[in-house]
Chain A
Amino acid sequence: AQTVTQSQPEMSVQEAETVTLSCTYDTSESDYYLFWYKQPPSRQMILVIRQEAYKQQNATENRFSVNFQKAAKSFSLKISDSQLGDAAMYFCALSGYALNFGKGTSLLVTP
């Protein structure tokens, strides 16, 4: 069975600062993808970043980057230069026959 664990229900960061959201997972598959989705108050699910397990290089999308540690089954999201618009629920997800989501981390951005 696949599991995704987000151990931080809530996080807070000041504007322009950096914050890291944690995610650990478990899977018996050797080939898989990992994702971070953002869900703002509108509740739209927005893809933030994707990591292919076979790639050693960590994915980066503008201010968003991941630290993918395959052996440790860890997949954290770093948000640099945080902006008020980054405030949202962030879900870590693991690919399979369907996406398996963590419980989410609510990110608050303060001025």
Chain B
Amino acid sequence: AAGVIQSPRHLIKEKRETATLKCYPIPRHDTVYWYQQGPGQDPQFLISFYEKMQSDKGSIPDRFSAQQFSDYHSELNMSSLELGDSALYFCASSLRQGPSNLQETQYFGPGTRLLVL
């Protein structure tokens, strides 16, 4: 079965640079989530999209932005990178089938490991 695809898998950037992470959800899934997992921590929710519209926001810095495109893939744009942004970034997708239906199973991609030097 098709899984969530994330690219790149590894990324090294310098402080103050920008980075773009891409996510391709499971086909026919209508919702995408972004999570950030620091070393030794649990994943923290950043932002989600349902049917190409922003659904909810978590602890996403103002330096970060995201969008979901017409083909349902999503991109997380990160600017003015800081050392503390070094983390594993997960994309997850689900089939929500309704804006208020929050009882669905999220399937995670392999993650993008970002290292900021």
Q: Of residues 72 to 117 in B, which have CB atoms within 8 Å of A's CB atoms?
A: 88, 90, 92, 102-108, 110-111, 113
Shortest beta-carbon distance from A4 to chain B in Å: 9
Given contacts A43-B88, A45-B90, contact A97 B55 (CB under 8 A): yes
Contacts of A11 in B (CB 8 A): none
Cβ of B42 within 8 Å of any chain A Cβ, yes or no, is yes
- Inter-chain CA distance A72–B108, complex, in Å, is 29
Contacts of B41 in A (CB 8 A): 103
Contact A47 B110 (CB under 8 A): no
Cβ of A62 within 8 Å of any chain B Cβ, yes or no, is no
- Inter-chain CA distance A99–B88, complex, in Å, is 16
Contact A44 B110 (CB under 8 A): yes
Q: Which size bracket describes the interface of B in this complex?
A: 20 to 34
Residue interface bits B39-73, CB-to-A below 8 A is 1, else 0: 00111010010000001101000000000000000
| Main DSSP-derived SS at the B contact region | strand
Contact B43 A99 (CB under 8 A): yes
Shortest beta-carbon distance from A21 to chain B in Å: 14
Shortest beta-carbon distance from B100 to chain A in Å: 10
Q: Of residues 67 to 111 in A, which have CB atoms within 8 Å of B's CB atoms?
A: 91, 95-104
Given contacts A45-B108, A102-B42, A104-B42, contact A32 B103 (CB under 8 A): yes
Query: In the complex, what residue of chain A is closest to B90 when comparing beta carbons?
Result: A45
Cβ of A15 within 8 Å of any chain B Cβ, yes or no, is no
Cβ of A33 within 8 Å of any chain B Cβ, yes or no, is yes
Contact A45 B43 (CB under 8 A): yes
Q: A46-B108, A98-B56, A103-B41 are in contact. List 4 more A-B contacts (CB 8 A).
A: A45-B108, A47-B108, A91-B43, A97-B48
Sample (22) of A-B pairs whose CB atoms are under 8 Å apart: A31-B103, A32-B103, A33-B103, A33-B104, A37-B108, A43-B113, A44-B110, A45-B90, A45-B111, A52-B103, A91-B42, A91-B43, A95-B102, A95-B104, A96-B102, A97-B48, A97-B102, A99-B35, A99-B106, A101-B42, A101-B43, A103-B41
Interface residues of A (CB under 8 A from B): 31-33, 35, 37, 42-47, 50, 52, 91, 95-104
